[in-house]
Amino acid sequence: MTIKTILCVLDGGEASASALQTAILAGQSLGCYVEVLHVQLDPQNAVPLAADGMTATMVEEIVESVQSEGNRRRAVVEGLYRSQVVDAGLPTVPAGVPGQNGFVVAERVVRGREHEVVASYGMLFDLLVATRRHGRGEPAAPPTLEAAIMDSGRPVIVAPAAPPEVLGKHVAIAWRATVAGVHALAGAVDLLAQAESVTVITVDEYGTERAEPQDVVNYLTYHGAQARARHVEQTPRREAGQMILDEAQAAGADLLVMGAYAHSRLRQLILGGVTRKVLRASNIPLLLAH
């Protein structure tokens, strides 16, 4: 898939600087349009639907609190856009201007529920950039990230906690013969063709499935990517997710590509899973697709 447009979702949280830097690096590498999106929650939507027993004063306090937090996050996003884009001298255009050639950046601010906006608006971009929450005890995929992965139909780069210095120079692919794996591979082809090295990692989970990394290497050759295969056997003491992260680190990868939620989300929630493990533990950008 040719990537011409990138949507970068900034919520004003702790990893927003990393998300913006990740999107800029991808946009520069691919020479495409990058739109920075900030979704402000309408304070009225924050009032509980079942508001029985709440006084007018309580409702007003909720609205004011949400408004204050929304303004704070908006200010963070504005500051990041100014410092990382405008002051950095990057080319900018108004949001939604069609027919732009080469790398440019635009900014859009809308009101709504972030996960709903990202799920629908993200369908109109070739690639999304978002972040997970990085605090202890936070879910592996908060609602907006899950909506981006599961509902937009687009590949998603998940930015790490710290802004990356490079993106796509050395890429690792965690290959599994699933539809999600195919979508991730297709979504990353443009980046893979520009990489200096690509490592295809397969993990034999006790011989339960066919894993042919050389077939993937052969496929990538047709798309201009120079790849090598790395097949590892799983042991009872090591999770598949951790093995993938270890192999990616050993390969010097600055981007890890993999299918997301090959099993149902309920099974992932109850039993864990490779996606959850990698999301929680990775310190490099992840390109995921469902």
Please check the confidence at residue 235 and state whether its pLDDT lies above 90.
Answer: no
Residues 174 and 118 in one domain: no
Of the candidate ranges 48-52, 79-83, 190-194, 226-230, the one whose mean pLDDT is the lowest? 48-52
- 45 in any annotated domain: yes
- 62 in any annotated domain: yes
Residues 81 and 175 in one domain: no
Which of the pair, 242 or 262, is modelled with greater confidence? 242
pLDDT band at 271 (very low <50, low <70, confident <90, very high): very low
Question: Span 89-109, mean pLDDT?
Answer: 90
- 165 in any annotated domain: no
Please check the confidence at residue 191 and state whether its pLDDT lies above 70.
Answer: yes
Of 159, 182, 209, at which residue does a domain stop? Answer: 159
pTM, full prediction: 0.91
Counted residue by residue, the chain has a size of: 290
50 to 43, 47, 65, 113: CA distances (angstroms): 16, 9, 19, 18
- pLDDT tens profile 31-67: 999 999 999 988 777 666 545 667 777 777 777 888 8
CA distance 4 to 240: 33
- 212 in any annotated domain: yes
Residues 120 and 212 in one domain: no
Residues 41 and 152 in one domain: yes
Residues 97 and 197 in one domain: no
- Give me the pLDDT at residue 47, please: 65
- Give me the pLDDT at residue 140, please: 64
DSSP-derived 3-state class of residue 158: strand
92 closest CA partner among 77, 75, 107, 79: 107
**Cβ atoms 143, 115 nearer than 8 A:** yes
Residues 51 and 113 in one domain: yes
Q: Which domain holds residue 257?
A: 170-285
pLDDT band at 239 (very low <50, low <70, confident <90, very high): confident
Instruction: Provide the domain count of the chain.
Output: 2
Residues 107 and 15 in one domain: yes
- pLDDT tens profile 62-77: 778 888 999 999 999 9
CATH number for the domain harbouring residue 193: 3.40.50.620
Of 159, 183, 213, at which residue does a domain stop? Answer: 159
**Average pLDDT score, the chain:** 88
pLDDT band at 101 (very low <50, low <70, confident <90, very high): confident
Residue 182, token pair as written in the block: 């195919």
- 290 in any annotated domain: no
Residue that has been written with the tokens 């003491």 in this structure: 237
